[in-house]
Amino acid sequence: MSAAIRLVAKHVEKPWGRRDLGPFFGAVGPAHEPVGEVWFALPPGADPREPELLVKYLFTRQRLSIQVHPDDAAAQASGHPRGKDEAWVVVAADPDAVIGLGPRARLDRDQLRAAALDGSVETLIDWRPVRSGDVLYSPAGTIHAIGAGLVVIEVQQNFDLTYRLYDYGSTRALQLDDAVAVADIEVYRAAFDRHPAAPGREILVSGPKFILERWLRHGPHRLRASASHPVWVIPLDGSATLDGVPLQPGEVWLADASGEFDLAVGSTLLLAYAGATLLVDGE
């Protein structure tokens, strides 16, 4: 029996989404709204405990709102279970694609509120050009916005609590008071903390809520996962197996028991997990 569960893909319609979702997810028919997100959830009948992390693919035809997520303390003070740290791995990007992270200069909260109301907040955000392979980390509290023309894998705490600060004049509701209250008004300085963990293993993000790795090392190696320390496995390209079961790009698996990976030459996996550093036999 495999040590991992293949998660079920769920299409989420969004006004800023796309109809062409590429080779892994196909096309959206005219009877449906554009799809902006593909979420990966446990299949029916799996462990009813809520996973700590959530993995999504995002497909942006238009830019997303300028927004902020609360941290755990702020979320729990409002009656929610947790906040939302998140990280993005850029899979594909148009030549002019950007992601905004934090203000270009420090703001006070009155300035932030006024800029959100008159629309000038759009000019105050630090818009960063991005391309395929880039990795960005957005801790809770970071003012951020994902631009148009992107396919992004998002790894996040498993709760979608979003406070919209500005939405380019759309009719969607804003949560201005909440957003201003929890926003980090300093210039974004969070390190992505990329560093090697072992040969063929790179730590892309090491935050307080989860760690994200990229694996390039080919050959068999044993991953030590468990129900209390599960690992989300995201094949990016090439081919890999887990206990003989093929893992394909466009899938996401949840490993909740130890198992042996065999990663082919030229293949890439992402692995995400909460808590302690990942243990791999033989290192």
Same-domain pairing of 68 and 201 = no
Gap between the Cα atoms of 247 and 224, Å rounded: 18
Same-domain pairing of 199 and 176 = no
Q: Is 33 a domain residue?
A: yes
Gap between the Cα atoms of 283 and 272, Å rounded: 18
Same-domain pairing of 109 and 21 = yes
Least confident of 50-54, 114-118, 214-218: 214-218
18 given a catalytic annotation: no
Q: 69: domain CATH number?
A: 2.60.120.10
Instruction: Report residue 58: phi and psi, to 5°.
Output: -115, 140
Q: Is 246 a domain residue?
A: yes
Gap between the Cα atoms of 267 and 235, Å rounded: 8
Among 159, 182, 205, the domain-final residue is 182
Q: How confident is the model at residue 53 (pLDDT cuts 50, 70, 90)?
A: very high
Domain around 73: 8-182
Same-domain pairing of 115 and 233 = no
Overall number of domains in the chain = 2
**pLDDT digits 0-9 by tens, 12-37:** 999 999 999 988 998 888 888 999 99
Q: What is the pLDDT of residue 30?
A: 83
Same-domain pairing of 158 and 26 = yes
Please report, for residues 97, 197, 248, 275, the alpha-carbon distance to residue 206 in angstroms, rounded to integers and kept in the order given: 25, 11, 25, 10
**pLDDT digits 0-9 by tens, 245-278:** 899 999 999 998 888 888 887 889 999 999 776 7
Structure tokens at 98: 């950007």
**pLDDT digits 0-9 by tens, 162-180:** 999 999 999 999 999 999 9
User: Among 164, 172, 214, 217, which one carries the catalytic annotation?
Assistant: 164
> Is this prediction's pTM over 0.75?
yes
Same-domain pairing of 148 and 235 = no
Q: Is 187 a domain residue?
A: no
Q: Is 86 a domain residue?
A: yes
Q: Is 67 a domain residue?
A: yes
Same-domain pairing of 261 and 201 = yes
- First CA to last CA across the chain, in angstroms? 25
